[in-house]
Amino acid sequence: MVVHIDTREYSVKLPLPPQFDDNITNICSCNGLVCFTNVGGEVVHIWNPSTRRFKILPAPNKRSDYYQNGIGFGFDSVSDDYKVLRIVMWEVIPGRCSKLGAELYSANDDSWKEIEVPIITLERVLTCPASKSVYSKTGVVYLETHHGLLSFDLHNEVLGFYPYPNSKIKSTIFDFEGSVAAIFGSQVHDNVVPSLWILDVVCGEIIFISRLYWEDSFKLCLQPNFDDRDFNICSCNGLVCLTDFLNHVVYIWNPSTRRFKILHAPNKRPNYFEAGIGFGFDPVSSDYKILRLFHVFVHSSDASDIQLVIKAELYSANDDSWNDIKFWVEEERRVCSVSR
């Protein structure tokens, strides 16, 4: 695996152990460190891009008959310790009944230990596999499920659960001005009006509250078979980038000014399907940029075989245009497992 930081000249090649088999999942970061695992979650790495060093963590305790359901990574400022939370599940009755477990890795102790899972949390998360995670500067890691956020206090080492608002349309969770947030939408006929919700304290209770609505004059036109997997959100410096994968439309929204911009249509549209999207700020050129990845089926030179490769294009806010990004040849075939 080759990882580039800003430029190809500043890159590091990480030799992956056999357990990865080129498949990396559950990538999360904190304070410049990156934590990632293989698909099964038995192999966990922490990588420091600045020093180009990485560490393979001790093997987790829960391995046989378990499968990883999610992972979170953050810093406990009280004990000055980096910690990795691993959520696992196993079947009590095959195909009918499962149980949820959790274990925590401490960098100070260089070991894993089991974490108690409250019954109410277990009941709500059983059939809702956790996916993306967000680390809060308050020392709490949040993992999303289909019905709510699974939270973990890194210092007190306590799990919690916060249900989502009543909405079937939800983005992935993301950091917004230091708070964990998500976009929820109210569907009216064939349209949906998105709004920004964050976790906040109300009368001593932590709940989701609505912060901002997109203007009523702006609606996303959705297909009847709309699915939240076709709806992607990224955030950077208070700006929100929203992608409607079904209609191939990308928006940038500024909740502070309540203004939004519909970007020019990406170049690559026919005969492909979306793989992922990223949004960030380039301080060197003072430019907001969007990286868009998509899968394409291509024929071999003799037309005897069809391969799935990944392509990329980059949007520049300064240029207000999309441009192709070149992969190394081997990268086009090895990065095919990128997900949203």
Compute how many other C-beta atoms are within 10 angstroms of the C-beta atom of residue 26. Answer: 24
pLDDT at 218 over 50: no
The yes-or-no verdict on residue 108 having pLDDT over 90 is: yes
Gap between the Cα atoms of 215 and 195, Å rounded: 9
Q: Is the pLDDT of residue 17 over 70?
A: no
Tell me the C-alpha distance between 113 and 163, whole Å.
Answer: 27
The larger pLDDT score, comparing residue 194 to residue 163, is at 163
pLDDT at 78 over 50: yes
Whether the pLDDT of residue 21 is over 60: the answer is no
Q: What is the pLDDT at residue 20? A: 52
d(CA 215, CA 280): 24
Lookup: tokens for 157: 């080492």
Q: What is the pLDDT of residue 226?
A: 47
Average pLDDT, rounded, for the chain: 73
Cβ contacts of residue 183 below 8 Å, gap of 6+?
170, 171, 194, 195, 196, 197, 231, 233, 240, 242
Q: Which amino acid is at 136?
A: S
More confident site: 219 or 178: 178
Per-residue pLDDT tens digits for 290-302: 988 877 777 666 6
Task: Answer with the residue of higher pLDDT: 39 or 178.
Answer: 178
Do 52 and 78 contact (CB within 8 A), yes or no? no
Q: Which amino acid is at 224?
A: P
Cβ–Cβ under 8 Å, residues 235 and 181 = yes
Cβ atoms 313, 322 nearer than 8 A: yes
Q: How far is it, in rounded angstroms, from Cα 277 to Cα 220?
A: 19
- Report the pLDDT value the prediction gives residue 22, as an integer from 0 to 100: 53
The set of residues, in sequence order, having a beta carbon less than 8 Å from that of 299 and lying 6+ positions away, is 305, 306, 307
Is pLDDT larger for residue 109 or for residue 25? 109
Q: Residue 187: in which H helix or E strand, if any?
A: strand 179-188
Question: Residue 4 pLDDT more than 50?
Answer: no
Encode pLDDT of 110-149 as tens digits: 999 999 887 655 556 654 555 678 888 788 998 887 778 8
Angle 295-336-225 (CA atoms, 0-180°, nearest 5)? 50
Between residues 158 and 15, the one the model is more confident about: 158
Look at residue 73 in the predicted model and tell me its pLDDT. Answer: 92
Higher pLDDT, 164 or 169: 164
Neighbours of 67 (CB within 10 A): 16
Between 327 and 52, the higher pLDDT residue = 52
H helix or E strand, kind and range, residue 212: strand 205-213
Q: Which two tokens stand for residue 81?
A: 């310790």
Half-sphere exposure of 276 (CA within 13 A, CB side): 9
**Residue 59 pLDDT level (bands cut at 50, 70, 90):** confident
CB 96 within 8 A of CB 139: no
Can you tell me the distance from the alpha carbon of 247 to that of 266, in angstroms, rounded to the nearest whole number?
Answer: 11
pLDDT score recorded for residue 84: 94
Dihedral angle sign, alpha carbons of residues 141, 340, 291, 192: negative
pLDDT tens readout for residues 81-99: 999 998 887 766 665 556 7
- How many CA atoms are closer than 13 Å to the CA of 257, on its beta-carbon side? 9
pLDDT grade for 332, boundaries at 50, 70 and 90: very low
pLDDT in tens, 226-285: 455 566 777 787 788 888 777 778 888 887 777 888 898 887 665 666 767 888 888 889
Residue 266 in tokens: 């990406």
Question: What's the alpha-carbon Rg for the chain, to the nearest Å?
Answer: 21
**pTM for the complete prediction?**
0.67
Could you tell me the pLDDT band of residue 77, with boundaries at 50, 70 and 90? very high
pLDDT at 339 over 60: no
